[in-house]
A and B are shown apart, each in its own frame.
Chain A
Amino acid sequence: MGVYEHLFASIVGIMHLKYLVPLFLGTLAGVIGGALPGITITMTIIMVLPFTFGLDPLQGLAAMTGVYVGGSAGGSITASLIGIPGTPSAVATTFDGFPMTRKGEPGRAIWIGVWAAFLGGLLGGIFLIASTGPLASIALEFGPWEYFSLFVFALSMVAGLVGTSLVKGLLSGAIGLVITVIGSDPIMGVPRLTMGSDFLRGGFPFLPVLIGIFAFAQLMSDIEKMRRGEPGAASSQPTPTLSTSQLKVLWEILSMPFVLVWSTLIGILIGVLPAIGGSAANIMAYDQAKKFSRHPEKFGTGIAEGIIASEASNNANVAGSLVTIMAFGIPGDAVTAVMLGAMTIHGIQPGPLFISQHPAIAYGIYAAYMVSLVLMVLIIAAGSRLWMRVISVPKSILIPAVLVLCVVGAYALSNIMDDVYTLLLFGIVGYAMVKFTIPLAPLILGLILGDQIEVNLIRAIATDPNPWLFITHPISGGLLAASVASVIMALWQHHRAKQRGITVDEEEADF
Chain B
Amino acid sequence: MLGREGIAGLVCLVLSLGLLALTRDLPQSSMVPVGPGFYPRIVLVLMAALSVMLLVSDVLAGRRGRPAPPPARARLNYGLVAATFGVFVVYVFLLPALGFRIATFLFVAVLQAVLEPPRGWRRWVLVLVVAVLTSWVTHLVFEHYLSVLLPRGRWTGM
Contacts and interface: CB of A to CB of B under 8 A. Distances in A.
Contacts of A457: 39
Contacts, number: 192
A1 B110 CA distance: 58
Contact of A420 (B5, B32, B95, B134): B95
Interface residues of B, number: 69
Given A177-B43, A188-B36, A224-B80, A394 B116 contact: yes
B151 interface: yes
A193 B57 contact: no
A228 B73 CA distance: 17
B1 interface: no
Interface in B13-43: 16, 19, 22-23, 26-27, 29, 31-34, 36-40, 43
B44 to A, nearest CB: 6
A395 interface: yes
A174 B29 CA distance: 25
Interface residues of A, number: 71
A220 interface: yes
Given A407-B95, A435-B4, A174 B104 contact: no
B77 interface: yes
Given A188-B29, A190-B36, A437-B5, A408 B150 contact: yes
Contacts of A458: 32, 34, 38-39
Is the contact region of chain A dominated by helix, strand, or loop, or is it mixed? helix
A181 interface: yes
Contacts of A178: 16, 19, 40, 43-44, 47
Interface in B122-143: 130-131, 134-135, 138, 141-142
7 contacts: A187-B29, A187-B32, A188-B31, A192-B22, A229-B117, A229-B119, A408-B138
The 5 closest A-B pairs by CB, nearest first: A54-B146, A396-B116, A436-B8, A396-B115, A185-B36
Interface of A: 50-51, 53-55, 165, 167-168, 170-171, 174-175, 177-178, 181, 185, 187-188, 190, 192-193, 195, 219-220, 223-232, 394-397, 399-401, 403-405, 407-408, 411-412, 415, 417, 420-421, 423-424, 427-428, 431, 435-438, 450, 453-454, 457-458, 461-462, 465, 505, 507
